Homo-oligomer: A and B are copies of this chain.
Amino acid sequence: MGSKSDLPVVEETAKLLSQFEIRHEIRVISAHRTPELARRYALEAEERGLEVIIAAASGAAHLAGVIASLTPLPVIGIPLEGRTMGGVDSLYSTVQMPAGVPVATVAIGQAGARNAAILAAQILGIKFPELRNKVKAYKAEMAERIEKETYLFNKSG
């Protein structure tokens, strides 16, 4: 994440990763304020054995793009809301990458934070069948929970 203040949103990602039992680390790395740290992190990621990188940033959100430019690993970008514009600036800065350097962008803010974890699990599920099963179980349970809710509302006028 680009700033310590992004933690409340990013913790949504971490919680789900823990629930899927995916090992992960959380770092504050700013594409603009700690460019060398961002570069080192991206360049060493593959060798350190990372498999997926999730980057969350707001405003002119370059973090995901900067990391994607320096690693062959898939990079997921979470556009965060800043003080203005409701996150449209970070959405455009994250998703509109030029041909050659994709960022797998998810929704703005909290929904995106949770989906980044699920997407990571789906991606890793290609290699690790038990993770795919966890994703299936997660989706089934989610559907079941909502299906239960739906029968609470069944009135006629």
Give chain A's interface residues, CB within 8 Å of chain B.
2-4, 7, 14, 17-18, 20-37, 39, 46, 51-52, 58-60, 62, 65-66, 68-70, 72-76, 81-111, 114-116, 118-119, 122-127, 132, 135-136, 138-139, 142-143, 146-147, 149-150, 152-157
Contact = CB atoms under 8 A, between A and B. Distances in A.
Contacts of A127: 126-127
A74 B132 CA distance: 10
A105 B106 contact: yes
8 contacts: A14-B155, A25-B156, A28-B152, A28-B153, A34-B147, A35-B143, A95-B105, A102-B107
B37 A147 contact: yes
